[in-house]
Amino acid sequence: MALHFRKPQNTLEFGGRTAYEAQGDASEPVRKCPNCHKEIPVSVLQENEQVCPCGHHFRLRARTRLRLLLDKDSFWELYGNLISENPLGFEGYDEKLEKVRTATGEAEAVVTGIGRIKGISAAVFAMDSYFMMGSMGSIVGEKITRLFEYAVRQHLPVIGFTASGGARMQEGLLSLMQMAKTSAAVKWHSDAGLLYITILTDPTTGGVTASFAMEGDVILAEPDALVGFAGARVIEQTTRKRLPQGFQRADFLLEHGFCDAIMDRREQREGLAQILAIHGYRAGTEELAEGK
Ligand SMILES: [Zn+2]
């Protein structure tokens, strides 16, 4: 089975080494942590799945997440050939897509496929906040919908990492209808008695929060992830009320019943395998077949 992860495309995936080398810094490259403000060697971050010793979770690219989660060589990408067009003829959208595709090495803001977690087969998706802020256009919605449909046919659980700025405004209403479309697919999967787990990562907002991100049977969040519908500033301006400390952060979510647990990234592989096992999913050796 072919491994579809690409080689590191940019400075984000493997800790910024390329950028620092480009600056002519031959010593150990570092990344400044926005939480503890310390400069952390990238080798330390790399060994800790891009988590700072203070606990801050740096954002991850979609393929990095899947690589950290899945058994080695077990990922099979599905629907990677689907590419956004510019259905409304929105000015500048074609150019923007072209630019972001080149910059990220991705065709769209979500990577979908199948793989194994400690031997247990699952359909998986990971959104990429570096691709137009993980915004949901027609293709993001279509890939996620098809993945759920595939999972129903193959009796697979779905595990998804969400990260999104919301609907993709360049696709207008076509973008908004993806909320209903993906939700219908989640319901179909649920009616088939299959498990769906979401991991809300920083940031998960807008139409993605209002649809498949919050529809998991089990909803996990990464520490301190920002999760909400409208932004805090918009809410404050509209309601003319000051928002409480930590509003829309993972702890706040847990306290108010919007997620089931906060799970450190370094515990996710083990934790997700356990949740799958509790729900009766077992490790298997059958070949994972490519979907249509
Ligand atoms: Zn830190």
Q: Residue written as tokens 């990429």? A: 128
* pTM score, whole prediction: 0.88
Q: Which residues pair with 220 in a beta bridge?
A: 199, 261
Dist. CA 57 → ligand 1 center (Å): 8
- pLDDT-derived band at 22 (thresholds 50, 70, 90) equals very low
- Phi and psi angles of residue 126, each rounded to the nearest 5 degrees, phi first: -140, 130
Dist. CA 65 → ligand 1 center (Å): 20
User: Mean of the pLDDT values across residues 17-37?
Assistant: 70
CA dihedral 189, 195, 200, 201 (to 10 degrees): -100
Of 263, 227, 265, 259, the closest CA to residue 246 belongs to 227
Dist. CA 225 → ligand 1 center (Å): 15
Dist. CA 48 → ligand 1 center (Å): 12
Dist. CA 245 → ligand 1 center (Å): 20
- pLDDT-derived band at 288 (thresholds 50, 70, 90) equals low
Kindly list the protein residues that place their beta carbon closer than 5 angstroms to ligand 1, a single-atom ion.
33, 35-36, 52, 54, 56
Dist. CA 202 → ligand 1 center (Å): 16
Dist. CA 244 → ligand 1 center (Å): 24
Dist. CA 201 → ligand 1 center (Å): 17
In terms of phi and psi (left: phi > 0; alpha: psi -120 to 50; beta: otherwise), the region of 23 is: alpha
Q: What is the DSSP string of 136-190?
A: B-HHHHHHHHHHHHHHHHHT--EEEEEEE--B-GGGHHHHHHHHHHHHHHHHHHH
- List pLDDT tens digits, range 212-232: 999 999 999 999 999 999 988
Dist. CA 134 → ligand 1 center (Å): 24
Of 192, 186, 161, 157, the closest CA to residue 277 belongs to 157
- List pLDDT tens digits, range 122-146: 999 999 999 999 999 999 999 999 9
* DSSP state, residue 112: E
Dist. CA 273 → ligand 1 center (Å): 28
- List pLDDT tens digits, range 234-275: 899 999 999 998 999 999 999 999 999 999 999 999 999 999
In single-letter form, the type of residue at position 189 comes to H
Asked if the model's pLDDT at residue 7 lies above 90, the reply is no
* DSSP state, residue 108: S
Dist. CA 58 → ligand 1 center (Å): 9
CB 107 within 8 A of CB 78: no
- List pLDDT tens digits, range 81-124: 999 999 999 999 999 999 999 999 999 999 999 999 999 999 99
Sheet holding 76-78, edge to edge: 76-78, 110-117, 120-127, 158-164, 196-204, 218-221, 261-262
Dist. CA 68 → ligand 1 center (Å): 20
